[in-house]
Structure 1
Amino acid sequence: MTTPRKLRVGWHREHFLSPLLQFADKDKNETFELVECPGGTGEMQVKLKNGEIDLCIALTDALIAGLANGLESYKLVGRYIASPLRWAIITGKDSKYNTVDDLKGTTFGISRLGSGSQVMASVLSLQQGWTESEQPQFKVNGQFKPLRDSVNLGETSVFLWEWFTTKPYVDSGEVRFIGSVYTPWPCWHIAASPSAPASSVKTFLSSLEPYVQHFNSAEAREKEDVDFVTYYFGHQRDDVVEWLSTVKWEENIAQVKEDVVRETLRVLAKAGVVKPETEKLDITTFVNTDVATVV
């Protein structure tokens, strides 16, 4: 009997992935292996396309935008976070930029083309009502450290990154916050390559789900979650407590809500990230219905 191949699971070093890390610690690399992707969702999309990973937990908007723009190297197989993501607007410690209004027509740093950092820059522009001449330009910097360096060197005005991941660098004085923007959608979904066996993906999701449910519980949030995130990621306890008060995980992860996909497409189309006609694409363009239930 052939032993099933271990799934290669892409992840980014963010506290949202704590349940996955707890599952990995219990699994001991028997059924899946973690592949860290410091470049975030954009890097995961590249690795899926190159066949370097089978599955990832990544940003909703970037995943859906990629599918709407023709990527066929993955489809959604589940939902993960039910709440929006708070993106910080980050500039250099000594930069001339102090308000969002100062950013019109400037160059934003992004991790990769099509990444969440680019998508949310376009959403910010939409929300601010910037004209065509005021739209941001983009400079690809790759990972988190080059993005921070770029704003301090004056190569870019700002970049967008998750608030609590960036806060330690603000506390240390390396960079500054000048605002934030929230996603108009639940912020994380799960995607998998069509070549990954559906049975293996289903098993992975059903095995991950209890860890997600426990981490999401009121009991675990009291102390256990705070201890884990503080220890593993090195965040301040007060910051972890504040973050936990803002985030909610999905209880049934092997599902995808069609209205979330449609609403995300609608906003992305208004922001110019995808074409308006993509809103009418069949849901199977976005969801692997052999794995996930569309609700």
Structure 2
Amino acid sequence: MKKVNIGGVPEHFNLAWYLTLKNGEYKAEDINLRWHDYHGGTGAMNKALRSGEIDMAVILTEGIIKDIIDGNPSKIVQTFVETPLIWGIHVAADSEFNNVEDIKGTRAAISRYGSGSHLMAYINAKNHNWDLENDLNFEVIKNLDGAIRGLTEGKADYFMWEKFTTKPIVDDGIFRRIDNCPSPWPCFVIAVREDFIENDEEALKTILEIVNQTTAEFKSIPSIDKTIANRYEQELTDVQEWLSLTEWSQSVMNEKTINNVQDQLYNLNIIPKKVEYSKLIHKL
């Protein structure tokens, strides 16, 4: 049996992987797919891809593109979630900040440099015409638990994370959400180490076929809203709203979209150069 390690965030976006694993669909194809939760998000997964700790990752588009350009030996093989990620901009519940202009020049909590929370802080700054040199400051907090501590204890001032994941923390009166910042591109892709693509392309195709069949039918799974609400401790109405806003993909990201991501990252000085489509994408 072929062992394959895959990483992702332990969030509702990735429930399709859990369902297909629970059903034994990979084992039926002689593949021992092992899922690894990465609470530290994209930055932690990039590190794991580089080291070979995982073969595949369900990872934020902007984060993996930056890291491939920076030398990560991986390629994007498919878009996983077609719609943008809605990043909530959060402050501590008792914070003096009430809107985005109030947090200009303050400290953004980020999971790590190169993570989505880091890169999207630049997108938010650009959206509000901030000075990228002087109006952005960062405090590394590792993960969501670190952000709760960091904002509550005043070590950082605001934190950007997926709106629905953090909604229970807002409901509990720990965070207050002052705004939203959607990513300007499809949010999640599937990235795979180049050596795995080279040596195990058939296994990779099989894995993608299995998960794609589930994501294509995901919204029609009976009581899927209740399943998500229970598993991720979300309010049912929040889950239903999230499902209405989210579309999965079963195809590879096109060149125009990849170029748009690169253009924006380059203009924000997040990447040092733009590269050819074939340097980032592998078509199976």
User: Shorter chain as normaliser: what TM range?
Assistant: over 0.9
Residues 123-134 of structure 1: matches in 2 within 5 Å?
123-132=123-132, 134=134
- Cα deviation for residue 66 of structure 1 reads 1.4
1:207 equivalent in alignment to 2:210: yes
Structure 2 CA distance for aligned equivalents of residues 228 and 166 of structure 1: 18
Structure 1 vs Structure 2: percent identity of aligned residues?
Answer: 28
Structure 1 CA distance for aligned equivalents of residues 131 and 140 of structure 2: 23
- Cα deviation for residue 28 of structure 1 reads 6.9
The answer on whether the counterparts of 1:122 and 1:272 sit within 8 Å (CA) in structure 2 is: no
Equivalent position SS for 2:194: coil
Residues 48-87 of structure 1: matches in 2 within 5 Å?
48-68=49-69, 70-87=70-87
2:246 counterpart residue number: 247
> Structure 2 vs 1, CA of residues 132 and 17 (structure 1 numbering), >3 Å: closer, same or farther?
closer
Q: Deviations over 1:217-276 (max 9, x none)?
A: xx33xx5220221121121101101111111111x23x221111111111112222113x
Structure 2 CA distance for aligned equivalents of residues 264 and 100 of structure 1: 24
- Cα deviation for residue 78 of structure 1 reads 0.8
Structure 2 CA distance for aligned equivalents of residues 96 and 204 of structure 1: 48
The answer on whether the counterparts of 2:49 and 2:72 sit within 8 Å (CA) in structure 1 is: no
The answer on whether the counterparts of 1:105 and 1:133 sit within 8 Å (CA) in structure 2 is: no
> Structure 2 vs 1, CA of residues 135 and 33 (structure 1 numbering), >3 Å: closer, same or farther?
same
Structure 1 CA distance for aligned equivalents of residues 66 and 19 of structure 2: 30
- Count of aligned positions: 277
> Structure 2 vs 1, CA of residues 29 and 206 (structure 1 numbering), >3 Å: closer, same or farther?
closer
Structure 2 CA distance for aligned equivalents of residues 104 and 273 of structure 1: 19
The answer on whether the counterparts of 1:104 and 1:134 sit within 8 Å (CA) in structure 2 is: no
Range with greater deviation from structure 2 (93-102 or 183-192): 93-102
The residue identity in structure 2 corresponding to 1:120 is M
Q: Which runs of 4+ in 1 moved over 6 A?
A: none
1:270 counterpart residue number: 267
Structure 2 CA distance for aligned equivalents of residues 94 and 205 of structure 1: 45
- Cα deviation for residue 213 of structure 1 reads 0.6
Structure 2 CA distance for aligned equivalents of residues 73 and 154 of structure 1: 38
Where does structure 1 lack aligned partners over 5 or more consecutive residues?
none
1:7 equivalent in alignment to 2:1: no
Structure 2 CA distance for aligned equivalents of residues 182 and 162 of structure 1: 9
The residue identity in structure 2 corresponding to 1:175 is F
1:225 counterpart residue number: 224
Length-normalised TM-score, structure 2: 0.93
The residue identity in structure 2 corresponding to 1:146 is G
